[in-house]
Amino acid sequence: MFRKDRIKNIKSKVKKIEIKKNMGWCDDPRSKEYNKIVKLPSVYSHEKLYKKENVYDIIIVLNYNMHPIIKNKGSAIFIHVAKKNYKKTEGCVAVGKNYLLKIIKELKKNTKVRIENRR
């Protein structure tokens, strides 16, 4: 997913979804839309995808708890743009925007992402 107003020319071999102002990601296990994109407003707990800060300018949705989706197992597990000084995320992986653009360029539908902490 990406913010078209901030990322003008994104190159990818995988499906791209433009992030709109009314988009969210449901993190409420009571909802049948748990761990999916939802249209806002929503009565269920969710995370807004269209943010003022740039962390969600680009989002890669990891295939975690997707097929099948199991309630309370986790939702909104993304790779997204890092905050300044690479401040911690709430369960996601964050990298610099330029690195993320390079990753997206190489992704294919069957690409396996291996995450390592080298600190």
More confident residue, 96 or 86: 96
Domain assignment present for 4: no
Sheet holding 46-48, edge to edge: 37-39, 23-26, 46-48
Domain assignment present for 80: yes
pLDDT of residue 82: 94
Nearest to 59 by CA among 22, 110, 6, 112: 6
What is the pLDDT averaged over residues 76-82?
A: 94
- Is the pTM for the entire model greater than 0.85? yes
Q: How many domains does the chain have?
A: 1
pLDDT of residue 91: 81
Domain assignment present for 29: yes
Is the pLDDT at 115 greater than 90? The verdict is no
Domain residues for the domain of 40 are 23-106
